[in-house]
Each structure stands twice: as structure tokens, then as C-alpha cells.
Structure 1
Amino acid sequence: MSLGLYLHIPYCFSKCRYCDFYSAPGQRGVPTQYVDALLRELARFAPEAPLHPDTIYFGGGTPSLLSPADAARLIAAAAPAPGAEITLEANPETVTEQTLCGFREAGVNRISFGVQSARDSQLKTLGRPHTARQARAAFAAARRAGFTNISGDIMLALPHYTQAEFDETLELIAEGGATHISAYLLKIEPDSAFGRHPPEGLPSPDEAADFYLYAVEHLEHHGYRQYEISNFAKPGYEGRHNLIYWDCGDYLGLGPAAHSCMGGRRFYYLADTEAFLNGKAAPVMDGGCGAEDYLILQLRLRKGLDLAAYKARYGKEFSTAQLAFVKNCVKSGYATFDGSTLALTPAGLIVQNSILAELL
């Protein structure tokens, strides 16, 4: 079975207004002490032999604030399996061709840029520190550094949003050479700056749904096939790390607020960087991963839920009532079902929570 390793880098220049991820703003780099703490925790889980993960994912925060030398230390200690996918999230304003060459030499083979919008006024509203010009330059620098697996993020249904803004952002990312695109709706999180002071001009839920369906259609037209609710890829460039999550595989997350699931058991680190640095943040157990989790995560994927695999893995079968509900979903255009696989359509993915509430 595949193993994914997630390394949380909580440091960033400034907190984006929509962000509720655990991060420490006001930083211009990642302290060596923090890298040492990650290495210490890696050794905790692999005291005798390396883990040889199939994927490594540097997430944040802003992982591109790492020095390439520190990224190399972490990758070497993890001793990834041959052909492993090694992803680094990057903010466009934090990279140069030199640092990108350094990350590539360190072993990073997939770079993911947080673009969000091609309009500088919108980026300012979101609290993003980069400009569209910097985003274009980052893609070009990544290609020159030898990256062939490049992802870009698009945020949909932003304040005063239009289809034209989506088109401009897609053009920037596609022309930048992206092989993968994450496109997701803005969600107002209570613990974010937007949660405390919502921006004006937010689309209604129906308008947001229309933007999502427009995005799915146009990404497909540009060769980015939807394989998950918010993820689209050129053939062969699907994100392998996140697929481990959605297939309920084993993953180890290291860093404050990082979550793991190993052998069906969940655990996490407390959201406390100071405790993590000082070695006082032992993982906290958090129950198990079971049939409900599998159903929820599989229905995020366009390939859907294979009922035979569901039964083989958990001994579960759909009841008569569940099958009747599935039939109604198909009739309404929210799902496809051939008797063996249940898959949600883009329209069904919009109302996924309601469908899951009925199925569960």
C-alpha cells in the first residue's frame, strides 16, 4: 500500500484574509530549529529503517520559504521510494529561478503555485502578497528550472466575481505550462479575517454554483480532466499524494496541526509551534478511519464509489432505501450508477453534503 508523507511548514509572510489554516505570519524564512524538529519527528516514526514514502508533500503556510538546502535535508531523511512524487507549495512572490533550481536539485519534482486570481485588485482583496505579473514570472522560472509537473490554484466565486476573471486566471495558469489545476469555491471560514469581516459583493450560493459548473466545463475544454471535486489534470498528472487521502490510504503528517492516518488509526499534532519545537507535542490519538470516511472520500472523486470494493473492505452494502435514493439522484442528474459504481456528476458534487447526509 502507498504511503504519503505530509510536512507542514507553518511560516508565511502574512495571513491571507480567507485562510484559517494553522500558520505563523510575519516570517521571512523557516528557522533551522523547525527543520530539526521535523527531522526529530521523522526519526520517531522511522527509528530503525526509513519510511520510503511514495509521495512527499510540503504544505503550509508557505513551504517555499524553506531554503533548498533544508528541503534537501528533509527529503534525504525521508528516503522516498524510487519515482516518488515530491510536491512543494509555493507563493509566486517567494521564488526565483535560482531557488526553484535549488528545490529541483533537492528532489522536488512537482511545484504548486497559489495563484487564485489574475487580477491584482482581487489579489489585494484576498490579502495575497503577489501580483499577476509575479505569478507569470514564477511559472516561467519553474519551467526554466526543469519542472514539468506544475500545478496552479484558482479560487472561484470571489467578491464581485465574473466569468471573465475566471477566463483570465485560467489563461495565466494554462499558458504558464500547468499540468494540474485546483479550482475551488471561496469558503468563508469563521476563524479567518473574512469570517470576522465578510467582504462585499460575494455571489449568492446559486451564482457560486454556476461559476463552479462554468469552471468545470472550461477546464475540460482546455484539457484538464476533472478527477476530484476541486482538482483537474492533464492525463497522467493527477496529484498522487491527495489520492492517497481520498482512497483512505496511509499517510503521516508531521508538524503542528498536521493529521495522520496509519493502519486505519488517526492521530494529529496540536496546533502549537512552540510545543512542537521543544519536543513537547506528542501525537494525539483521534479514533479510526472506517466505512463512512471511505464513502465520503470516494464520492469526492469523479470515478466514484465501487460498491464491490466498499463491501470487500468494510463488509458494507447499500440498503433498499439507499438504492432508491441513488436512483432519484440519477434521475435528477446528480449521479451516475451502473449497478456497481456510484459517481457524482459536477451538479451532484455541488450538493455533495446533502447527498452524503441522505446516504449516511
Structure 2
Amino acid sequence: MSNKKLFGLYLHVPYCKAKCRYCDFYSAPGARGVPQAYVDALLRELAKNTRRPDTVYFGGGTPALLSPAQVEMLLRACDPLPGAEITLEANPDVVTQETLNGFRAAGVTRISFGVQSADDTQLRRLGRTHTAAGASAALAMAQKAGFAEICGDIMLALSYYSNAEFDATLALLKNGGCTHISAYLLKIEPGTAFAKYPPDGLPTPDEAADFYLYAVRRLEQEGYRQYEISNFARPGHEGRHNLLYWNCCDYLGLGPAAHSCLDALRSYWPGDVQGFIAGTVQPQPEGDCTAEDFLLMQLRLRTGLNLPQYAARGGQLTAAQRAFMRQCVAHGYAVWQDDTFALTPEGLVVQNAILEELI
């Protein structure tokens, strides 16, 4: 059993009460909870794992549809290391004081709520099934359950958006005890309800960029330091599991549409929940984790790309790339810090364009 390298486990729980209009994640109807047959399938696959994880992440879907007993069963099978970060995603309207107490007792250390907005009209437009008052109540219950790590999501640049809506949502999360906030721009993904019926009142790309930069400033003012393009935390409360992804460490994903990267080899499970339960589908190879992947991931982080580490993975910058990077610095899109090239918030706004030039 190897504990020499950081290792994370991701358990995908695809069940949802309802499909949000912007969501393109793999999901399945789950108003009555998570079938025990699905939990048994996860247990079957966990039994094949020989490494103890530093982090465990229950993602979805809506993992809070699991019962506390099911979470306890799965965590026992995960056998995390002492002090491991154990995260569970939740929708505010599917938790109760009893279930939150149960999740905490089962070993969950970090609860993450998809709040998105403090405006009820906006929530209905998004297809969310909770209200702002319900989100506030869920955060209060999480604090009462003893969670020291509480996370909240904010969506930016929504229909008819304003800085005032962002401020109200930030206040709701801050007052609810959030130590970590994810703030990200709405993206209309193919195959979603929003792709078929685009919402009215969406901001222009320039307006969306202004909302993003406003959010970065306000979050910093309230003590949430940006450490990744969409993630902000009080110092010491950064998400350890997602940092494994961005630092190209090892992680094993289980469940339909879950991805893994082990020893620099990527794989994924087909999006087939019934096939996963039956054991008739298996992970498919997805290619190597390359130096280019490392560059892409590291430039999501405010700490940036360390060139000696990039070189150790086989990466080599051309003269044209270095010249372009110097231009980014000159225009305020990036900074050099010793041997590290890091994007500023203004650079993160146009990250895709920068990466297209660099790759």
C-alpha cells in the first residue's frame, strides 16, 4: 500500500431531484434517494483500490441524497488516512438537521452547497429547487452540525445580473459561515435546457468580465483569497481535493462519467449508470497526462506555472512562447515571480485566449 504520493478518491453520485437548466453533468433521476444497488456498485469498485486517500470527494449529481448510513459505509470502504479531507456536495433543499448531523458523524469534514444566487427569481430561472431563505437555513444547520469547513457556490453574469445580486449572495454565504467560495461565470453548454432555450438578459462578454473582476475584488475584501480561477478561500481553507487535479497528482474516480489519473495515465467511466451497477462497463483509456496538461492546470492557479517543475515533466518553452509571456506581463495579464509565470485576475478572464497562444 503506497502513501508516498498524494492520492484522492472521487465518488460520483449522479442522482438528482431535478435537472438544472444550465447543467451538463451526467445525472439520473433520484427524487427518492440513491439506490442501494448503486452504493453496492461503488463498494465493489472500492474493494479493488489498494491506496489510502488523502482526500475523498462525493460529487454529483446530488450526493446529499445519500443517507448518512450509506456515506458511512462508503467511507469505511475508502479507508482514508488520518486527517483526510472528506467533501460532500449538497443542495440546500435536500438536507435536514438530522442528515447533516449524520454526515458529520459519518466522517464528512467539508460540506459544499450549490447556492448560486440570493435572488429567488434567479434561482427559479436557473431551475434550482431551493430558495435564498432555504439556503440560509441549510448553512445554519451545517454550522450547528459542527462543520468547520462550509463551502458555497455563486454563479456570475446571469440573466439581468447586477453587482447588487452578487453582494447579496456573498453576504448570504459569509453570514452562513462559509470558509470557501466558488464563483464562476455561467456558460451555456451544448445539450442543456439553456442551450435549447437561451435565457434573456444575459450580459455581453465584456460585461461578464467586469462582473468577474468585481467578484474577485469583493471576495478579497471579505477575506476570501483567490487561489484558482473560480475558487476563493479564507487562508488555510483551500480545497485540497481539487488541488490534486490542478497539480496533476493521482486521483481515482468511480461512477458513470467519473475520470481518473493514475501514474500519469488518464481514464474515464462511460456515462451509463445501469451498466455501472451491473458491472458490464469498465473504465476506458483517455491518454497520458502530459507536460501540456500540467501547463494548462497550473495556469488555473494564482501560484502559476513553475518552469523548473514544467521542465522536469518534459516541458520546454520556445523563444516565441517566452516572448508572448513577456507581452502578457507588459499588459498586466501575468506576472513573473522568480521562475514562475502566473496569471493575474485580468489574465484569468482571458485565460482561454492565452492558453491558445501558449499551446
Which bin holds the TM-score, normalised by the shorter protein? over 0.9
**What are the equivalent positions in structure 2 for 1:40-119 lying under 5 Å apart?**
40-46=44-50, 51-119=51-119
Residues 323-346 of structure 1, C-alpha deviations (whole Å, 9 max, x = no match): 110110001110001451000000
Who is 2:284 aligned against? 284
1:205 equivalent in alignment to 2:185: no
Q: Assess if the C-alpha contact under 8 Å between 1:2 and 1:244 holds in 2.
A: yes
Shift of 1:11: 0.3
Q: Give the Cα–Cα distance (whole angstroms) in 2 for the partners of residues 258 and 159 of structure 1.
A: 31
Partner SS state of residue 152, structure 1 = strand
Q: Give the Cα–Cα distance (whole angstroms) in 1 for the partners of residues 171 and 275 of structure 2.
A: 43
Residues 143-162 of structure 1, C-alpha deviations (whole Å, 9 max, x = no match): 00000100000000000000
Q: Give the Cα–Cα distance (whole angstroms) in 1 for the partners of residues 337 and 254 of structure 2.
A: 40
1:126 equivalent in alignment to 2:130: no
Identity %: 65
1:67/1:26 CA distance change after superposition, 3 Å: closer
Partner SS state of residue 28, structure 2 = coil
Segments of 5+ residues of structure 2 without an aligned counterpart are none
Partner SS state of residue 275, structure 1 = helix
Who is 1:319 aligned against? 318
Who is 2:17 aligned against? 13
Q: Give the Cα–Cα distance (whole angstroms) in 2 for the partners of residues 338 and 358 of structure 1.
A: 21
Shift of 1:26: 4.8
Shift of 1:245: 0.1
Q: Give the Cα–Cα distance (whole angstroms) in 2 for the partners of residues 319 and 29 of structure 1.
A: 53
Who is 1:22 aligned against? 26
Q: Assess if the C-alpha contact under 8 Å between 1:151 and 1:180 holds in 2.
A: yes
Q: Which amino acid aligns with 1:231?
A: N
Residues 253-287 of structure 1, C-alpha deviations (whole Å, 9 max, x = no match): 00000000000001111000010010111111111
1:35 equivalent in alignment to 2:39: yes
Shift of 1:44: 2.5
Shift of 1:25: 2.7
Q: Give the Cα–Cα distance (whole angstroms) in 2 for the partners of residues 338 and 102 of structure 1.
A: 45
- Number of residue equivalences: 355
TM-score, normalising length: structure 2: 0.98
Q: Give the Cα–Cα distance (whole angstroms) in 2 for the partners of residues 338 and 232 of structure 1.
A: 21
Q: Give the Cα–Cα distance (whole angstroms) in 2 for the partners of residues 286 and 297 of structure 1.
A: 17
Segments of 5+ residues of structure 1 without an aligned counterpart are none
Who is 1:152 aligned against? 152
Q: Give the Cα–Cα distance (whole angstroms) in 2 for the partners of residues 299 and 186 of structure 1.
A: 20
Shift of 1:311: 1.1
Q: Assess if the C-alpha contact under 8 Å between 2:292 and 2:315 holds in 1.
A: no
Q: Give the Cα–Cα distance (whole angstroms) in 1 for the partners of residues 227 and 143 of structure 2.
A: 24
RMSD across aligned positions (CA): 0.8
Shift of 1:45: 2.9
Q: Give the Cα–Cα distance (whole angstroms) in 1 for the partners of residues 25 and 286 of structure 2.
A: 19
Who is 1:232 aligned against? 232
Q: Assess if the C-alpha contact under 8 Å between 2:90 and 2:113 holds in 1.
A: yes
Q: Which amino acid aligns with 1:235?
A: P
Partner SS state of residue 212, structure 2 = helix
Q: Assess if the C-alpha contact under 8 Å between 1:12 and 1:28 holds in 2.
A: no
Shift of 1:295: 0.1
Q: Which amino acid aligns with 1:20?
A: D
TM-score, normalising length: structure 1: 0.98
